[in-house]
Amino acid sequence: MKIRVITPNEDYRRQAGARIRYGRLSEPLKALGCDIDLVPLERVHTGAVPDGDVYLISKCYDVRAALVAQWARSAGRLVGVDLFDDYFSEVEDSRFAHLRAWFHACIQASDFVLCSTPALEQVSRRLVPQVPAHVMNDPFEAFDARALADTLLGKQAMVGATGVLQVAWFGMGDNPNFPVGLSDLVAFSGELDALRGHGLDVRLKICTNRRAMTAEALTALKRLPVPFEMSEWSEAAEKALLGESFAAFLPVNGQPFSTVKSLNRAVTALSAGVQVLSAGYPLYACFGPLIYRSGAELAQDAKRGVARLNGESVSALADALAQYADPVRETEGFAAFLRCLEPLAWQRAGKRVVGQPFAAVIHGRDSGDVPHDFARTLGALSVGTPLSPQKLDYDIRLNAGTAESGPELLVREGLVPVIEAGRVRWGRQVTLGKTTYQRVSLGAPLSREGLDLATLKLPSTLGSGHCVLLSEVARLTRELFPDIPLILSEELRQPWRIPAGFPGSSWMPH
């Protein structure tokens, strides 16, 4: 079985999340006869037969990912979405309307949802209960109980010899949409303060991404109650930091985005022989008494040489890792889940009608050349609207026209033979740029409803006009191609809702 993970770009494979989630599963999957590879969108072999058996969309919040999902599905492949983050369940937040549209566009082509935590599985079952979901925990890199016991003895001896309690904070320090990372470190710094006053010199080292090191963040960090050093994150820097640290401080705030996060940072710290102090939301509660919830208690134990993670409790850690982070266990479960779904793909194989487009991309105001070209190359329709760039050679386009002529629907001449005879009435030819179109009539005259509002481009009118206009274009496209899946290409950041006719438009949370 060949698993192809569709990613946003080539750099993605070097990021910690991809390295942990997919890189650590490569060898165990290979032992099961499965091959996994990360394929950036720009390297998808467009127009060719998909070379994978399973296509998994990973953090690829791009209309092209939804196109790849439909393309793979139409060729009889299994398709899934890997949920890393919850940008979708907070429906009252208009900032994520375009991401909700993306999610439902991918889901209409998907056979399953892969989740990194049980909490994300609950989100998936609430949003799309009809789609099977599977939890695949992020795995540990390596675990050697005997070596870990020796490491723990060495770290405890170092604290006793130097009187220094070295604490680490590591990971992604920011998010463009939510207060996480360094803001959590500052917000829960009371537990760092509680480390003091127990006869140890408390020192903090922060290892994070460069983007997070803003002037605002650095100003906030100056309020920390303990001295700190900061360095840019890399795999080597993280490993070195954990090697010299006695404890890691891993606070988690209670917003939905944070509460569905994986156990990875605790797994990484504990596997490296580092005590974990967690504050806020109890994300790491599954590790039970191995996790400290009190800075004072951690400092007191460190001073007395009786830390919770020690030579005797390594067996308890081994049991917890076997249940929540074992790469072999996680890959076996995932492979078995996929094999149960394979008949779905076999049933679809060969059912696609030759010559018929497998999907249609309808362009909103903030669309452009890239999704248009990608759609055309894959063999999908590209549908233009009065909101979208007028220079592109769309397959179907709705023009606003004039007050006298009214709006007009145009179809590229090459599509005329594949539209069911008798469904439409054809008008005269029109040439726009280098593309020849035919006017088409579907019965009742086209309405200007939504056109005037949307083209005013005012915040007060754009939302309502945008929705009405795109809903009308969706209806017209389905009149021409009744069963075609529709994908909305729109990055508009002003408040808007998913127009009628597109996946997710009728969804409401349970």
pLDDT the model gives residue 508:
41
User: How confident is the chain (510 residues) per 10-residue block, as mean pLDDT?
Assistant: 93 87 92 92 73 92 93 92 90 81 91 95 94 95 93 97 98 93 97 97 97 95 96 95 98 94 96 97 96 98 97 96 95 95 78 76 88 91 90 90 75 89 83 90 72 69 76 90 90 68 58
Distance separating alpha carbons of residues 264 and 170, to the nearest angstrom:
11
In this predicted structure, what is the pLDDT of residue 457? 66
Radius of gyration of the chain (CA): 27
CB atoms within 10 A of CB 420: 9
Distance CA 18, CA 220 (A): 30
Give the per-residue pLDDT at 134. 97
pLDDT of residue 101: 85
Bridge pairing between strands 486-489 and 2-7: unpaired
pLDDT at 490: 84
pLDDT tens column, 73-90: 988 899 999 998 999 888
Taking residue 10's Cβ as centre, other Cβ atoms within 10 Å add up to: 13
pLDDT value of residue 349: 64
Kindly state the helix (H) or strand (E) to which residue 297 belongs, with its residue range. helix 295-304
What domains are defined for the chain?
A: 2-139+328-348 (3.40.50.2000), 145-323 (3.40.50), 360-489 (no CATH)
Q: How many CA atoms lie within 13 A of 213 on its CB side?
A: 12
Structure-block tokens of residue 63? 């209309």
Q: What pLDDT score was predicted for residue 150?
A: 96
Handedness of CA 362, 363, 367, 372 (dihedral sign): positive
Cα gap 426→438, rounded to integer Å = 7
